[in-house]
Amino acid sequence: MNWNEENKSLTKEFVFRNQTELAAFFQRVAVLADAVNHHPDIFVTKAFQLKISLTTHDKNALTEKDFELAKQIDSAYTDFKEGN
């Protein structure tokens, strides 16, 4: 897991070939987040990059939910890149 800890958050950038790929992966992250009712902040940067930030807002801290969702997102990214 190659996430950065900054300001009580886990952050990571994901790079795609185009905006269509970015949007497809964004959808996968949304499904994962909805399934565990834990929603990241997601920023689109440089047109083909997503920066995902995880924190538990009601605790104003990192919790196990953040680390678990980060693992799921990493796994989804690996699967996504292998499928494309």
Q: Where are the beta strands (DSSP E) in 28-69?
A: 41-45, 49-54
d(CA 25, CA 27): 5
- CA of residue 9 relative to chain centroid, distance: 12
Positive or negative torsion for Cα 51, 52, 58, 59: negative
Domain of 78: which CATH number? 3.30.1360.20
Give 2-59 pLDDT, tens digit per residue.
999 999 999 999 999 999 999 999 999 999 999 999 999 999 998 899 999 999 999 9
Provide the token pair at 82: 């292998």
Expressed as residue numbers, the domain containing 42 is 4-83
**Among 41, 51, 42, which Cα is nearest to 13's?**
51
User: What does pTM read for this prediction?
Assistant: 0.92
Q: How many domains is the chain partitioned into structurally? A: 1
